[in-house]
Structure 1
Amino acid sequence: MALAEVEVQKKDEANKRANRDRARREAIDNQMAALHDRRKISFSAKLLMVLLFLSLAFFTIVFILFHVSSLKGQLNHIVNFLLALQW
């Protein structure tokens, strides 16, 4: 009788250990899946930031070129005015 109880107890311990290991593996799998999802979001965020940076750079360049061309026109008027004052 005692031998049978020991065997049952060993089987119970083995089942508990197997269940614990299975739960641990499932938890690790869930963490890996969550990490993988986070990486996808992170890549999307990086792509969005790159696109925003490129559009900002483009509009900055257009803005600077517009003002430089405007300044050239203003400088031309100033030079013409100064030349007119000389005569």
Structure 2
Amino acid sequence: MNDAPDPWNDFAQELGKRLLRARATRGLSQEHVAHAAGLATFTYRKLEKGESNPGTPANPRLKTLVVLAEVLDLSLDELIPERPGGVAPGR
């Protein structure tokens, strides 16, 4: 069993914080952003928490990230955090 921390957890958490910050700055509800992006509100809430299932980091599709960036009037660079340290490209 590998007890080493998963760097993708921090990445997913930071993505969630960026979603929350952008949504709050624009005065939008989770329901509004989810609907505008074509997502279930439950799915969007999980993204803001940085998880897909309990204990599993969020791993949204590229299409989802692009649409959320558009809804929140962000560039992908503003939305997506840097690649987590300690993770080799392609992993």
Q: Into which bin does the TM-score normalised by the smaller protein fall? A: under 0.3
Highest CA radius of gyration, 1 or 2? 1
Q: Calculate the TM-score normalised by the size of structure 2.
A: 0.27
Greater relative contact order (Cα < 8 A, sep 6+):
2
Greater percentage in helix:
1
Q: Structure 1 length normalisation: TM-score? A: 0.28
Between structures 1 and 2, the one with greater strand share: 2
